[in-house]
Every structure is written in structure tokens, then in C-alpha cells.
């Protein structure tokens, strides 16, 4: 595995694990939870230890020989691989799993800026002057009841989004964005403020404008939820590509 594991993965780094899914009899994906854990130690170029995940303070004893889709949060960005549980034991009062790579470790783009192509309904409007002043003070103070205009998000990341609409915003202005994401089977509404970086008319569709937006004063938890949504959607696409 080209020693990437020993060069890039360090003890203490956060990881996410999800069982490699199989198709149900009806052709749908079987549901598997995403577990959060951390790297305990790197043993060889293709084996490493992770702490057993917890759920409501209870250890989750992941089965030996089960294969998992793993994402590593490193200082150099996000890395992904597939790995199999080959052993479980207790070390220095810590319950650990021994994992063995079953694929190469590969780099994602930096997780905050990884842009996921999509087609999501969104509503938006330009912020009022008092709202802009509140944002400058790092407050979220929105005037209720103002009309919103429809748009379509065409890609999304933890740092911003790109959308198309039949109206145009001035670059540099602040806008209010409302959209929904399905995360972990739960539909959640996001109410976010963003700065318009660019706004250009489409060369293919007259009267349609494409906007790039950067989030402003975004809550860390909401950013992580959006990144999680992207991870989940990417996993679905990878499973479809593998024909599973």
C-alpha cells in the first residue's frame, strides 16, 4: 500500500466507519450506521488499530471479518479506504479493533471544500441593511416574513454552494439561503447566510444566472452535518459504481 498508511495516518485522528453494504431482496441498500472512532495505533503498512466505537456510552463490538468503508480526518485532508476487522482485544484498558486495508488509501479533496454535484431546491433573498449589520457583529438576526425567491443548488460543500436562478445578485452582497438535506434518514432545514462571490449569466440559457456563494458565520455543527451529507451521498455513488 506504498506506506501511505504509516506516512499519513496518526494515533488520535478521527475516523468514520460504515459497513460495506449489501443489496436487500427488494434491490435497496441495507441500512448501516456510521460510527465515529479514532486511530489508536498504526502497526504496519497495511494494518492499524482503532478504538471501538461508542453509542450512548456502550461499546459497539464490530464483528471480525466484516469490511468497512473508512474515512480518516487528517491534517492533510480527508483520506478514504476499505478495511476489514481482523481482531478485537483490550490494550492498556482500551478496547481496540485491528483493521487491515483491503483497498488503497486515497485522498479526497479537503473536506470543507469538496464540492458535491446535486440538484436541490433552495429559496433565497438579499439581506436587509439591519441584517447585514447584525452579520457584521456575528449575530443571526433575520427579519421574518420577507418574500423568498426559488433557486436550484447545483453543487454544495462545507464552505459554500453554487446555484442557478432566473434572477441575479450583485457580487459581494449577502443573501439568506434556505434548503433541506436528508442526513441519516432525517430531513433537516438549513437557514444560512452567504456572500455572493460571483454572479454570471449562463452562456447556454439566456436569463439564467449562476451564483457562487461562501457561507458567512456558519455554525460548526451545521458545517459538519453538510460534510456528513456529502460523505453519505458519495458512499451511495461508490456503491452504485461497484454494482452493490
CATH code of residue 100? 2.30.110.10
User: With 70 as the cut, is the pLDDT of residue 162 above it?
Assistant: yes
Residue 239 lies in a domain: no
Residue 240 lies in a domain: no
Kindly report whether the global pTM for this prediction surpasses the value 0.85. no
User: For position 128, which CATH number holds?
Assistant: 2.40.10.220
Q: What angle do CA 19, 155, 135 make, to 5 degrees?
A: 110
User: With 70 as the cut, is the pLDDT of residue 1 above it?
Assistant: no
Across the range 24-40, mean pLDDT stands at: 63
Q: What is the pLDDT of residues 104-161, one digit of tens each?
A: 888 765 555 677 889 999 999 999 999 999 999 988 889 999 999 999 999 998 889 9
pLDDT at 26: 39
Residues 137 and 78 in one domain: no
Residues 175 and 205 in one domain: yes
With cut-offs at 50, 70 and 90, classify the pLDDT of residue 238. Answer: low
Rounded distance, CA 18 to CA 243, Å? 17
Paired residues of 100 in beta bridges: 47, 84
What is the total count of domains within the chain?
Answer: 2
Domain that holds residue 92: 4-108
Last residue of a domain, one of 60, 78, 108: 108
Across the range 74-85, mean pLDDT stands at: 84
Residues 120 and 221 in one domain: yes
Residues 184 and 83 in one domain: no
Residue 101 lies in a domain: yes
- Average pLDDT of the chain? 85
**1 closest CA partner among 79, 76, 77:** 79
Last residue of a domain, one of 70, 86, 108: 108
Residue 243 lies in a domain: no
Residue 244 lies in a domain: no
Last residue of a domain, one of 80, 108, 136: 108
Residues 84 and 36 in one domain: yes
Residue 128 lies in a domain: yes
Residues 126 and 53 in one domain: no
pLDDT at 242: 61
| pLDDT over 90 percentage in the chain | 50
**192 closest CA partner among 237, 166, 165, 161:** 161
Rounded distance, CA 232 to CA 212, Å? 23
pLDDT at 8: 84
Residues 46 and 141 in one domain: no
Rounded distance, CA 42 to CA 9, Å? 7
Residue 235 lies in a domain: no
Amino acid at each position: 500500500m506504498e506506506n501511505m498508511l504509516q506516512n499519513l495516518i496518526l494515533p488520535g485522528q478521527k475516523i468514520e466507519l460504515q459497513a460495506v453494504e449489501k443489496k436487500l431482496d427488494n434491490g435497496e441498500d441495507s441500512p448501516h450506521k456510521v460510527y465515529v472512532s479514532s486511530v489508536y495505533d498504526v502497526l504496519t503498512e497495511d494494518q492499524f488499530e482503532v478504538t471501538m466505537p461508542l453509542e450512548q456510552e456502550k461499546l459497539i463490538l464490530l464483528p471480525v471479518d466484516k469490511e468497512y468503508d473508512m474515512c480518516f480526518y487528517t491534517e492533510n485532508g480527508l483520506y478514504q479506504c476499505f478495511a476489514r476487522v481482523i481482531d478485537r482485544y483490550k490494550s492498556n484498558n482500551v478496547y481496540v479493533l485491528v483493521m487491515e486495508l483491503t483497498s488503497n488509501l486515497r485522498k479526497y479533496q479537503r473536506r470543507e471544500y469538496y464540492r458535491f454535484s446535486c440538484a436541490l431546491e433552495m429559496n433565497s433573498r438579499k439581506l436587509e441593511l439591519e441584517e447585514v449589520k447584525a452579520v457584521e457583529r456575528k449575530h443571526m438576526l433575520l427579519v421574518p416574513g420577507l418574500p423568498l425567491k426559488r433557486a436550484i443548488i447545483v453543487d454544495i460543500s462545507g464552505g459554500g454552494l453554487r446555484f442557478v436562478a432566473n434572477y441575479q445578485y450583485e457580487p459581494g452582497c449577502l443573501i439568506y439561503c434556505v434548503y433541506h438535506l436528508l442526513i441519516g434518514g432525517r430531513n433537516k432545514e438549513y437557514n444560512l447566510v452567504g456572500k455572493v462571490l460571483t454572479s454570471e449569466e449562463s452562456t447556454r440559457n439566456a436569463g439564467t444566472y449562476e451564483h457562487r456563494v461562501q457561507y458567512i458565520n456558519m455554525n460548526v455543527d451545521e458545517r459538519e452535518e453538510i460534510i456528513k451529507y456529502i460523505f453519505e451521498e458519495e458512499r451511495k455513488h461508490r456503491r452504485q459504481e461497484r454494482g452493490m
